[in-house]
Amino acid sequence: MNKLMSDTLSYIGDILNKEKISWIVGGSIVLNYYGLTEIVNDIDLIVDIKDFEKVKSILSSIGDFKELPKKGIYKTEGYIKCKINRVDIDIMSNFKIKHERGVFEYILDQNSISKVIEINNVEIPLGSLEDWYEIYKLIPGREEKVQLLKEYFSGKDN
Q: Which domains does the chain have, with CATH numbers?
A: 3-156 (3.30.460.40)
- DSSP for 126-147, please give it: EEPHHHHHHHHHHSTT-HHHHH
Residues 6+ apart with CB under 8 A from 105: 94, 95, 96
Looking at the predicted structure, is the pLDDT value of residue 66 above 90? Answer: no
Distance CA 138, CA 83 (A): 26
Instruction: Compute the 3-state secondary structure of the chain and give helix, strand, coil in percent, each to the nearest 5.
Output: 40, 30, 30
Question: pLDDT tens, 81-133?
Answer: 999 999 999 999 999 999 888 899 999 998 899 999 999 999 999 999 999 99
Of the two residues 25 and 60, the one the predictor is more confident about is: 25
Whether residue 12 contacts residue 40, with contact meaning beta carbons closer than 8 Å, is answered with no
Torsion sign, CA atoms 138, 116, 109, 79: negative
Q: Whole-model pTM above 0.85?
A: yes
- DSSP category for residue 85: T
Instruction: Give the C-alpha separation, 111 to 113, whole Å.
Output: 5
